[in-house]
Structure 1
Amino acid sequence: MAATVPFDGLAEADLIVDAVYEGGTSGNAGDDPIGKLLPVGNSGGIRFRGRIGAPKVIALVTSGADADWPDWLDVETGVLTYFGDNKRPGHELHETSRRGNHLLRNIFDWSNGTLADRQRVPPILVFGGTGVRRNHRFLGLAVPGASHASSIDELVGIWRSTGGQRYQNYRALFTILDAGTIKRGWLDSLDSDDVAYDLAPPAFLAWGSGADAEPLRAPRTREARSRQDQEPITAEHQEIVRAIHAHFATHPYEFEQFAASVVRMYLSNAFDIEVTRPSRDGGRDAVGRYRVGTGPSAIEIDFAVEAKCYRPGNSVGVREMSRLISRMRHRQFGIMVTTSHVDKQAYSEIKEDGHPIVVLSGRDIAEIIHRSGVAADGGIDAYLQAHFPRYP
């Protein structure tokens, strides 16, 4: 159970990764807890103290519920994908009221500049909404960039459209540092001329001195996911899965086409994905290849896909999983795509026996659709009808 800090204790509280900081109960903007934890104001997604060219501290705040701009923290790698604040058409990329995108451009320029430039990047504290009143969870201390991305890919302007109007926003990659507790003494000193560097997290000081970012990685402790772990959490994600099941429930072959598209979104290096004919699929609903590496030294691995459009709550069992396993060839891996979940016995067996099978459950499908943004303009029903049309 994560620690919870009451609203009246925020001003003296350390920041602890995954601790929940309660909001107030007055029913106004003053209930926001982040403005009590840091001197950054009580509204907005990108908040900062200081000048745009010399910020002292930055808070990145995400609700996690914006379908058009889905911020996402991968806790296993420590990489945060965060979108800027130009979220409506009618403005140039950097012309936002709170200048959040201007600030993003600055800190990424500094992080890729000289050592003196890097030291201009202030502490960046990341918070996520819990869905309960104004309570927020502390997600960690971040720095710009990610080890798997080049400087070109760390901050990218991407296009979206709303109501036929096109506009750009930033997609930024950050690394959450291996710093589990942020001391109150250091936080309080950031707005002064006498910063308490002796209380600063070592990982932040090391990065500021030119070292690579040391990410806070949290590998899963349980390999076989429970039903709860496989089912969508939010109402929005539940609606995505419900709509997908309703769209394909009586059209299993079309669901195989959809499953192949989900695999393409999930595995960026997958290619040659081919859905097999309904009468000749040999137990595999699709096959494809996955490229490891780049250039002449890259290798290609074949994979097989099994797609099950089950009503949420109706599990994929041992029989269905065995069917996929029996059709997998030597040195292939398998992907089970289902709108529901894999039951405990079947999931445990593939893990215990070491079968190379990726399970994409209802939760995974919803998160993939959400992160990809394919359903951002018009919603999931419009996306499905446009790409997998159903006719009366």
Structure 2
Amino acid sequence: MTNTIAYQYILSSNLIVDAIYECSPNNQLSGEPISKLLPGSGNMGGFRISGRGHKKNWVVLFSTGEDKDWPDSLDIYSGQFIYYGDNKTPGHEIHQTSAGGNKLLRSAFEQLHQDENRRCDIPPFFLFKKSPTANGARSVQFKGLAVPGYPGLSSTEDLVAVWKSTDGQRFQNYRAIFTVLDASVISREWINDLASGNPLSENAPKAWRDWVVSGKSLPLRAEATTVIRSAEEQTPDTSLKHDVLNTVWEFFKETPLEFEKFAARIYQMMDQRVIIDEITRGVVDGGRDAVGRYLLGLPSDPVYAEFSLEAKCYRPPLNGQSPNTVGVKEVSRLISRIRHRQFGILVTTSLIARQAYEEVREDRHPIIFISGRDIAEILIKNGFNSVDKVNSFLYKEFKI
């Protein structure tokens, strides 16, 4: 079970990666836990900046995980964190925000790239996400200590101003990429040192000191202990993902052949290196609904891996209904059609049954599973983040 720190203990608690910190029992704003864990951070907003003047003590980046237009995301396997700035409504220049978050992002990334001696002026970033518990609707989960940038990314890639439009009005916001450092515990002593203006004290995490001194960040990479996703992990976990998947299911449930074309499109959305050569629907396809190639080499010197894709438009686990899961028979059919040096993709609106999942992973078959929750997340990530947008996309590209 996830480590949960009760409210009465958080004033003296360390920050532990993935621990949940409960709010006060009355769920009042004054009992919000971040302001107690990191005094001076405030108790509202996505950006919570501690310290006055040019040099800040620290910055809290808080994400609810529920903003469909600006989907912050943490890749726990690579340690890369994507966070969107605070200019989220039209009518303002990108840096004209009340919290000053975008100005701070610009300053931090400029210091990162323009002068290596200024890394000591960049504050540590503490990441939190909303994580309600039975004992508190304002509870949060600590996701790690972060620094701007990511290994291998240039100054033109790690902080980018992106355009959005709302009600016909255009505006910009930042998309910032951070590295979550390999620091599992942030001690209360270091937090006190930061508040005193001493970030490089003996209590500082080694990964932080190394980054300040050398500029080399060591990401917190977490290798999966299991690659067999449960039914829960394949099921939409938010109301938006539920609605998006339900829209897809309702659109294709009477025309499953059209779903094959959609399944190929979803895989392309997941990775721009995917090339679909043929949709094989309507013919004797030998167990393959689409075939294509995946670009491994450089565009000027391409090397391709061939793949076969199979699509299953099955009833998803929505609206209280039991799903029609993809089982061993369907997966075995795809495996039997894969030739040497090929891989397979199975796309379904439903779930992969545990037995089928286990057999594929234990026997190391090169099969990629894209289930219902994945479909919803891929669509949302590509900007189809409402029922109306999903419907418009489906009618435009797949209406018979």
The verdict on a shared fold, with TM-score over 0.5 as the criterion, is: yes
Distance 1:124 1:317, change over 3 A: same
Question: 2:166 is aligned with what amino acid?
Answer: T
SS of structure 1 residue aligned to 2:50: strand
2:6 corresponds to 1:6:
yes
Alignment partners' CA distance in 2, 1:91 and 1:290: 41
Q: CA deviation at 1:293?
A: 3.5
Amino acid at match of 1:267: D
Offset at residue 20 of structure 1 (A):
0.3
Moved more, 116-125 or 188-197: 188-197
Task: Give the alignment partner of residue 366 of structure 2, picking from 356, 359, 365.
Answer: 356
Alignment of 1:50-69 (within 5 A): 50-51=51-52, 53-69=54-70
RMSD: 1.9
- In structure 2, relative to structure 1, the CA distance for the partners of 1:205 and 1:388 (3 Å cut) is same
Shift of 1:382: 4.0
Q: Which runs of 5+ in 1 are unaligned?
A: none
CA distance in 2, matches of 1:14, 1:77: 24
Alignment partner for residue 318 of structure 1, among 312, 325, 328?
328
Q: Secondary structure at the match of 1:42?
A: coil
Q: Deviations over 1:48-81 (max 9, x none)?
A: 1124742220000001111111111111111111
Question: 1-side partners of 2:183 and 2:197: how far apart?
Answer: 24
Equivalent residue number for residue 319 of structure 2 = none
Is 2:79–2:181's contact at 8 Å kept on the other side of the alignment? yes
1: CA distance, partners of 2:279 / 2:208: 48
**Map of 1:225-236 to 2, 5 A cutoff?**
225-236=229-240
Structure 1 segment 179-218 matched on structure 2, within 5 A:
179-195=183-199, 197-218=201-222
Q: State the Cα distance separating 1:27 from its structure 2 match.
A: 4.6
Does the CA-based 8 Å contact 1:68-1:376 persist in structure 2? Answer: no
Q: CA deviation at 1:213?
A: 0.9
Moved more, 311-320 or 290-299: 290-299
Supply the distance in 2 between the matched residues of 1:196 and 1:148 (Cα, whole angstroms). Answer: 25
Distance 2:46 2:156 in 1: 24
CA distance in 2, matches of 1:15, 1:226: 29
Q: Distance in 2 between matches of 1:192 and 1:341?
A: 52
Conserved 8 A contact 1:69-1:373: no
The 3-state SS of whatever aligns with 1:173 is: strand
Answer yes or no: is the 8 Å Cα contact 1:162–1:377 preserved in 2: no
Q: How far is the alpha carbon of 1:159 from its aligned partner?
A: 1.5
Cα distance in 2 for partners of 1:246, 1:144 equals 42
Q: Secondary structure at the match of 2:114?
A: coil
SS state at 2:174 partner: strand
Alpha-carbon deviations, 1:242-297, whole Å to 9, x = none?
A: 22111111111221222122111212211245322322433211122111132444
Given residue 246 of structure 1, which amino acid in structure 2 is its aligned partner? Answer: E
Contact 1:339 1:361 in 2 (8 A): yes
- Residues 376, 92 of structure 1: alpha-carbon distance in 2 compared, 3 angstrom cutoff: farther
Kindly tell me: are residues 378 and 150 of structure 1, through their superposed partners in 2, closer, same or farther at Cα, counting changes over 3 Å? farther
Q: Separation in 2 of the partners of 1:169 and 1:257?
A: 34
Give the corresponding residue for 2:33.
Answer: 33
**CA 1:143/1:293 → structure 2, altered by over 3 Å: closer, same or farther?**
farther
> d(CA) in 2 for partners of 1:319 and 1:85?
49
Distance 1:373 1:197 in 2: 44
Q: 1:48 is matched with which residue?
A: 49
Contact 2:264 2:276 in 1 (8 A): no
Q: For 1:68 and 1:115, how far apart are their aligned partners in 2?
A: 34
Look up the SS of the partner of 1:199 in the other structure: coil
Distance 1:84 1:31, change over 3 A: same
Measure the CA separation in 1 of the matches of 2:397 and 2:384.
Answer: 10
Note the C-alpha offset of 1:200. 0.6
TM-score under structure 1 normalisation? 0.94
CA distance in 2, matches of 1:69, 1:61: 13
Match of 1:373 in 2: 383
1:316: Cα distance to partner? 0.4
Structure 2 SS opposite 1:65 = coil
Q: 1:52 to 1:345 in 2, by over 3 A?
A: farther
Give the Cα–Cα distance (whole angstroms) in 1 for the partners of residues 178 and 293 of structure 2: 30
Give 1:385's match in structure 2, choosing from 353, 375, 395.
395
* Alignment partners' CA distance in 2, 1:17 and 1:98: 26
Deviation at 1:26, TM superposition (A): 3.7
Residues of 1 paired with 2:280 and 2:93: CA distance?
Answer: 46
Match of 1:125 in 2: 126
Query: Between the two proteins, what is the percent identity of the paired residues?
Result: 44
Contact 2:190 2:199 in 1 (8 A): yes
Matches within 5 A, 1:282-361: 282-312=286-316, 313-361=323-371
In the alignment, residue 242 of structure 1 is paired with which amino acid? N
Q: Aligned-pair distance for 1:336?
A: 0.6
TM-score (norm 2): 0.92
Moved more, 205-214 or 11-20: 205-214
For 1:307-349, what per-residue CA distance to the aligned partner results, in whole angstroms no more than 9, with x for missing partners?
A: 1111112110111112211222221111111111111221111
Distance 1:317 1:141, change over 3 A: same
Matched residue, 1:107: 108
Deviation of 1:136 (Å): 0.4
Gaps of 5+ in 2: 317-322
Give the conservation status (yes or no) of the 8 Å contact 2:243–2:387.
no
Please report how far the alpha carbon of residue 181 of structure 1 lies from its aligned counterpart in structure 2 after TM superposition.
Answer: 0.3
Q: Distance in 2 between matches of 1:194 and 1:225?
A: 44
In the TM superposition, what is the alpha-carbon distance from 1:25 to its structure 2 partner? 3.8
8 Å contact kept, 2:307–2:344: yes
Partner of 1:278: 282
Rate the CA distance shift 1:174–1:376 in 2: closer, same or farther, 3 A.
Answer: farther
Distance, in Å, in 2 between the alignment partners of 1:141 and 1:193 is 17
Shift of 1:83: 0.9
Q: What is the total number of aligned residue pairs between the two structures?
A: 390
